[in-house]
Amino acid sequence: MSAHDGLDNDCIFCKIIRCEIPSFKIFEDDSVFSFMDINPVAPGHSLVIPKFHTPNIFEAPDIWAAATVNGIQRLARAVKETLNPDGINILQANGPGAAQSVFHLHMHVVPRWADDDVKMNWGISPGDMDAIGKLAKQISKNVN
């Protein structure tokens, strides 16, 4: 079995894993590949991807999570050590409606600074507790 089994021929991130197109690699291990985002929302914006092709969290096999989250932790610690940001957001998009643009599952590490004006904060505003409780019941019925 080759290290590149499970990759897609046309996927841009699979091509990065295979080094068919260049990237600013940060690290890789048997399971994940980490590299800089070339359209950074902030300095240090970087990505971790599993080393097999899967488009999103709905279709990913169970094994993606432990390795990828471990990779994210390693990356976030290194970014913190390097840039000393005020904070770091970890993000992962599923589907065009969530602004996913590359359909190989990936997690973003986004360093944040107090005055960075990056728009991803939605503030704190109390919700409708009845509606929240109803949705909790409905969603929990769909947990498998």
Binding residues vs ligand 5GP (CB under 6 A): 12, 23, 35-39, 93, 99-102
Q: Which residues bind Zn ion (CB under 5 A)?
A: 8, 11, 13-14, 53, 104
**Among residues 37 and 80, whose Cβ is nearest to ligand 5GP?**
37
CB neighbours (10 Å) of residue 125?
5
- Positions annotated as catalytic residues are 106
Q: Which does 14 bind (CB under 5 to 8 A by kind): ligand 5GP, Zn ion, none?
A: Zn ion
Strands 25-28 and 87-91: unpaired
Q: Which does 69 bind (CB under 5 to 8 A by kind): Zn ion, ligand 5GP, none?
A: none
Nearest CA-CA partner of 95 in 59, 45, 133, 41: 59
CA 72, distance to chain mean position in Å, is 8
Minimum separation from the CB atom of position 93 to ligand 5GP (A): 4
Q: CA–CA separation, 89 vs 37, rounded Å? A: 14
DSSP symbol at 73: H
Minimum separation from the CB atom of position 81 to ligand 5GP (A): 21
Minimum separation from the CB atom of position 74 to ligand 5GP (A): 18
Q: Which does 37 bind (CB under 5 to 8 A by kind): ligand 5GP, Zn ion, none?
A: ligand 5GP
Q: CA–CA separation, 92 vs 53, rounded Å? A: 15
